[in-house]
Amino acid sequence: MNSLGDQIRAYLPYQRRNAASLALLAFAMVLTLSAFAEVGLARDGNIPSGLFVYGGGLVVLAMAAYVVQAKFAPYADPLLLPLAVALNGLGLAMIYRLDLDTSRDHKVAEMAGKKLISDEANAGGQLMWTFVGIALFVTAVLIMRDTDRPDAKFSFTPKTAQRYTYIIGLGAIILLLLPIVPGIGASINGARVWIRVAGFSVQPGEFAKLLLVVFFAGYLVNKRQAMSLIGKKVGPISLPRARDLGPILVIWFFSLGVLFMQKDLGTALLYFGLFISMLYIATQRVSWVVIGLGLLAVGVFVATQLPFMGHVNQRIDIWQNPKPYFDGGCLLDSGKVVPVNPDTDLYKQAKAAGSSYPGFTACDKLGGEYSDSAQLMKGMFALGEGGVLGTGLGQGEPWRTPLSFSDFIFDSMGEELGLTGLMAILLVYALIVQRGMKTAVAARDPFLKLFAGGVSFVVALQVFVIVGGVTKLIPLTGLTTPFLSQGGSSLMANWILIAILVRMSHDARKPAPQAIQDEGMTQIVSTR
């Protein structure tokens, strides 16, 4: 086979790049420690004690991860670990910085005898989850064996998952449905994507994302031959056979289900986009992409027409013109959003009637649900405040945006690190995605190719949906920003994702097994 991967392997013999990896890791640590130092120096002129706890903690964890990677996956892509550590470290520094402000708000509120409803940035918790995340990375790299030695005892490789394709698919669906189950499902900040387990809030969707990639990869590897068969030809596009349309319709209904039940356009977009891209990789048929995009358009159109799907409309209305809803928007049952801001008669009437929250009262009178664009606009104001160079870590006021430490952490970064910092962060993400894609190209097995490609693309898509949302490029939906957002589920899932890529890149990049030359001219046959 004269594939690109073979060409790369033929002309560029892979080497261990552990020294490069270590140097980059050291740079990621310097970046993180500097970020912590700057927070302290800017706020009170001292190196903060958090530098030793949080920065030091991260350094120890990252070094452990490096040692394991160097020992057990020495041919792994040298960039993946340092990039993930840099993002994790920057996110931790930002959460630490936000924690200093929000916990102070908390104390002030406590002294005044009030209880703050909004949850707050929690640097200690994030450090703990970072620890768990990196521990999972270490474990995953340790237990996963090289794919070309499936005969080893207790072998567990990325390819092992292929055997359990349908069980994993079922698992993904169960995880996705868990938040809707009464009792363990929990609604936090209006989104029903959480479950409560032993006192912790877990976002099963983050893990389901990984399982779905495995399921899609396993399924498509089996069915890709059939699905790439050509049926009718319409114009320039070769349509697939009608009987092969089944799977894509199932996923489509499934995504619509997510959209309807969780009222979450972003997540639906993420799953469906992931499936289409993997379908395209597996079949090489552009027609699948066209069909997929058509189905997506139909789905979104239907969603905007259904009255009970007002959330989608509202997000779109707010995205197009957030201003009228800044001080108050009201989502009616008909799916329309009307402003109830202080300039409106409704607001004035409610105020004249003596209401202390005229916007809410006015919306109640209309029988709608209060929702405003304040969060999005405050995030945008944070970006504006940052400008090109940013205010500097610890010197802005990113805590003025609600959820500045999770959904809106990208805007918080934008305020304090500026356009310059955001470009760097986006480049880090882009590099992770590209290294993942390169691993997919270099992989020797179709399942692993799909697996690596899907995992890389899901990162790109997720970053696009959330970052595009908070920068008003597309309507806002709440997804986590990989490695930056506060939250254990997201950190754990993403560290596992990096571990899988590290293991697969090691597999792909290591030299082919050497022939044992004691039997004369016997040619070694590929073990694939």
Partner 1 sequence: MDKPIRRVAIFGMLLFFGLMVQVNYVQGSQAEKLRTDSANTRQYLNVFNNPRGQITASGEVLASSYPTGKDNPKYGRKYVDGMVFSPVTGYFNGGASKVELAYNALLSGTDKRITHQRWFDMFIGKKPEGANVELSIDPAAQRLAYRLLKNNTSRRAGAAVIDVKTGAVKVLSSSSSYDPNDVAPQTGEQGAKKLQQLDGMRGVIQPLIDNGMSQTFPPGSSFKTVVAAMAMDDLGMSSSTPVNTGPLILPESGKSLPNSHDSGSCGGTAPMLGAFAESCNTAFGRIALDAGIQKLHDESSKFGFNRKWNIEPMLKPAESDVPISFVGADGNKVDTGKDGTARSGIGQENVRATPLQMAMVAAAVANKGKIMQPYLVQKVTTKDQSTVYQADPKLFSQAMKSGTADQLEDMMRAVVNEGTAKNLIGQGIAGKTGTAEQGAGIPNARWFVGFSPMNNPRYAFAVVTEGTGDGASGAGPLAAQILAQVRK
Binding-site ranges for partner 1 (CB under 8 A): 3-5, 38, 42, 108, 277, 280-282, 284, 323, 326-327, 377, 380-381, 383-389, 391-392, 395, 397, 400, 414, 418-419, 422-423, 426-427, 429-430, 433-434, 437-438, 440-441, 446, 449-450, 453, 456-457, 460-461, 463-464, 467-468, 471-473
Nearer to partner 1, 215 or 410 (CB): 410
Fill in the amino acid letter for 416. E
CA-CA-CA-CA torsion sign (499, 501, 506, 512): positive
Nearer to partner 1, 252 or 326 (CB): 326
Residue 492 φ then ψ, to 5°: -60, -50
Nearer to partner 1, 202 or 338 (CB): 338
Rounded distance between C-alpha atoms, residue 310 and residue 368, angstroms: 10
Least Å from the CB of residue 385 to partner 1: 6
Nearer to partner 1, 69 or 462 (CB): 462
- Residue 67 makes CB contacts below 8 A (sequence gap 6+) with none
Least Å from the CB of residue 17 to partner 1: 21
Rounded distance between C-alpha atoms, residue 289 and residue 284, angstroms: 10
Least Å from the CB of residue 409 to partner 1: 14
Nearer to partner 1, 42 or 64 (CB): 42
Nearer to partner 1, 21 or 391 (CB): 391
Question: For residues 279 and 220, is the Cβ–Cβ distance under 8 A?
Answer: yes
Residue 523 tokens read as 């040619």
Distances from the Cα of 347 to the Cα of 106, 310, 356, 366, angstroms: 30, 22, 11, 11
Least Å from the CB of residue 396 to partner 1: 10
Least Å from the CB of residue 128 to partner 1: 29
Question: For residues 38 and 393, is the Cβ–Cβ distance under 8 A?
Answer: yes
Least Å from the CB of residue 100 to partner 1: 13
Residue 372 φ then ψ, to 5°: -125, 175
Rounded to a whole number of angstroms, the distance between the first and last alpha carbons of the chain is: 12
Question: For residues 189 and 478, is the Cβ–Cβ distance under 8 A?
Answer: yes
Nearer to partner 1, 179 or 453 (CB): 453
Least Å from the CB of residue 291 to partner 1: 15
CA-CA-CA-CA torsion sign (228, 232, 238, 241): negative
